[in-house]
Structure formats: structure tokens, C-alpha cells
Structure 1
Amino acid sequence: MSAAIEYKAENPRLSVKVVEAIAAYADQSPVVVSEDGTDGIAPLYQTIDPDALDALFQNTAGEEPIGTVEFVHCGYKVTVESTGEITVTER
């Protein structure tokens, strides 16, 4: 099973969209809501630098970014395309 969520320009933080995509796929809250940390998605910075992820596909100097980045967060494989598509699958 996988979920693809298109990155929306209204929220320029790609890292936020990644957490939202994982939460939607896992049917959980995008933030940790329990004291023991078991309910919700762990902070993205535990796996990847959110600021670096945001900067990775920013349009700079009029050039369209190209490429793909993949990583595992909370047991899910996350693929982020330069097109803005985010795919979450079971690891």
C-alpha cells in the first residue's frame, strides 16, 4: 500500500508536507500526542534535517530543481520527487 500526496505551493515547507503525508498514510496524528511518544509521527529531525529537505528542491536562479530523495522515517519509506510528489510506503 502506498500514498502519494502532491506538494502544494501554499505551504512552502516541504518538510511539513512530508510529515503530513506520513501521518495520512499511517492514519495517525502528524505530531506526537502521547506522553510515551507512541501515538503520532516522531519529529522529522530525528531522521533528516528538515531545513535541508526544504532547501533541496527550492527553485533557485530560475532553474527547476531535479532529482529524488529517499529516506526511512518511523518505519515508512518516503520518496520525495523534485516535482513535489511525496510517496509513502511500508518499509
Structure 2
Amino acid sequence: MSQDSDGHGPILNEANHGDGRISETVIDAITEVVEDSSTEIEPLYESIDPDALEDLFDRRPGKDVPTRVEFRHEEFSIAVEENGRVVIYDAR
């Protein structure tokens, strides 16, 4: 597997956050990757506090949103960007 320019493994899935909770977008993006396998994944809260993620990416006017937050969840490296883009990388 080749790494991307940021040193990540290959991109497995990308999603764009719309309405609702950003953590749900992350969960949905991971689910799409493992959907066809028998792999059961741990709950997201085992890797990151979903409420803290929501607070970081709260888009209320005047609220500073980080450019990018990255974390690992099982065999995935996950990046959430300020524009709502969620990228799931293979971290194996």
C-alpha cells in the first residue's frame, strides 16, 4: 500500500458532513468501509469523545473551528476537516 503525501495509508472513504452530528458522519463513513466484511468495530467513543468532536466543529457564527483533527479508530486513521470533509485512511 502506498501512503499519501501526509504519510497516511490509502484513502478508504470520504464523506462530506451536512446536517446533524459530525460524529454520525464519521460513523457512517467507517460503516461504509466495513459494511461488506464481518468485522465488528468498537464504538467511536472508545477512540474519541463524540461530544468533544461536536463542540470542536460547532459551526455557530463567531466560533473558531480547527483546520483539521486526526485520530485513530481501530485500523483506521480518521481526519475531520473544517469544511466538514471526513476522510477514512487505512492505518494498518
User: Which TM-score band applies after superposition, normalised by the shorter structure?
Assistant: 0.7 to 0.9
- SS for the counterpart of 2:30 is helix
Q: Which 4+ runs in 1 deviate beyond 4 A?
A: none
Equivalent residues of 1:19, 1:41 under 8 A apart: no
Q: Partner residue of 1:40?
A: 40
TM-score (norm 2): 0.75
Q: Are 1:28 and 1:41, in contact at CA under 8 Å, matched by a contact in 2?
A: no
Q: Which runs of 5+ in 1 are unaligned?
A: 30-37
In the TM superposition, what is the alpha-carbon distance from 1:21 to its structure 2 partner? Answer: 0.6
Q: Tell me how far 1:44 sits from its aligned partner.
A: 0.7
Contact residue 78 and residue 88 of structure 2 kept, 8 A: yes
1:14 matched to 2:17? The reply is no
Question: Is residue 77–residue 88 contact of structure 2 (8 Å, CA) maintained in 1?
Answer: yes
Counterpart for residue 87 of structure 2: 87
Which residue in 2 is equivalent to 1:67? 67
Could you tell me whether the CA contact under 8 Å between 1:28 and 1:40 is conserved in 2?
Answer: no
**TM-fit CA distance, 1:61:** 3.9
Per-residue deviation, residues 27-60 of structure 1 (Å, max 9, x unmatched): 259xxxxxxxx74321111010000001101123
| Residue matched to 1:35 | none
Q: 5+ residue gaps in structure 2?
A: 1-9
The answer to whether the 8 Å contact 1:44/1:73 transfers is yes
| Aligned equivalents of 2:22, 2:82: Cα separation in 1 | 10
